[in-house]
Amino acid sequence: MEPSHTVVITGAGSGLGESLARKYSAQGSHICLLGRKKDRLQRTANQLFDSFSIYEVDVSKKQDVERVVQEIVAARGSIDLWINNAGTGSFDLAENLSEEDVHIMIDSNLKGTIFCTQEVLKPMKKSNQGCIVNIISTAGKVGKVNESVYCASKFGVRGFTESLHLELKDTPLQVLGVYMGGMRTEFWDGIFSEERTQGLMDPDDIADIIIENVKPRKRLVVSEVVILNS
């Protein structure tokens, strides 16, 4: 990507968001780090080159998202790549999940993706260019034990993403849905044992695959990528 390009990553304080930030920064892009915890975003920023900015935002709150998008466009002029990476999960049998668990997963994973996409589509359509990447997970492809509501939120993102493809098919805008298995990140802290997380995928590898599939190419469009644990 050209140095002038602006890459926005939600959930940039750890895991895949952090990996993507490091790799796009190394290519010369300006990185906008979005998340709820400034200390985590700063930790990622400490690994980047000079061109970055930090925005505290709760993606589940539409007005908060609208404010941040306006701030980024005012500062950068346009947004070239927006990565909807923020998400959370609570894992248990369906009847054991609390009302709060349900709200948090639907609000963050599904509504957060929708709100961010709604807001970033406005400047992207105005400039007639841009790419949106939705980090969905294989939980958006198949139901799983102890992941009923998490899967419901991700199946929702899948339907939203597939509909976006149809809405944008006659425009230069690109949408990529990424469905990957478990990664070795902080997401699984307190959920999986350390032994089990060691067998998961490296987020740096996933980031490389995403970056390769976002690259503009003549006469082809990559609409989705499925990455499975071996």
Report helix, strand or coil for 1: coil
Q: Name the maximum alpha-carbon separation found in the chain.
A: 50
Contact of 86 with 46, CB cutoff 8 Å = no
Contact of 135 with 177, CB cutoff 8 Å = no
Which structure tokens are listed for 82? 């927006």
* Residue 77: CA count within 13 A, CB half-sphere: 5
Is there a catalytic annotation at residue 150?
yes
d(CA 173, CA 176): 10
The catalytically annotated residue of 24, 55, 150, 179 is: 150
- Which amino acid makes up residue 152? A
d(CA 230, CA 226): 12
Residue 19 gets the label, from left (phi > 0), alpha (psi -120 to 50) or beta, of: alpha
What are the start-end ranges of the H helices in 80-224?
99-105, 112-127, 148-167, 194-197, 203-214
67-96: b or e for each residue (b if 16 or more CB lie within 10 Å)?
ebbeebbeebeebbbbbbbbbbbbbeeeee
Catalytic residues: 150
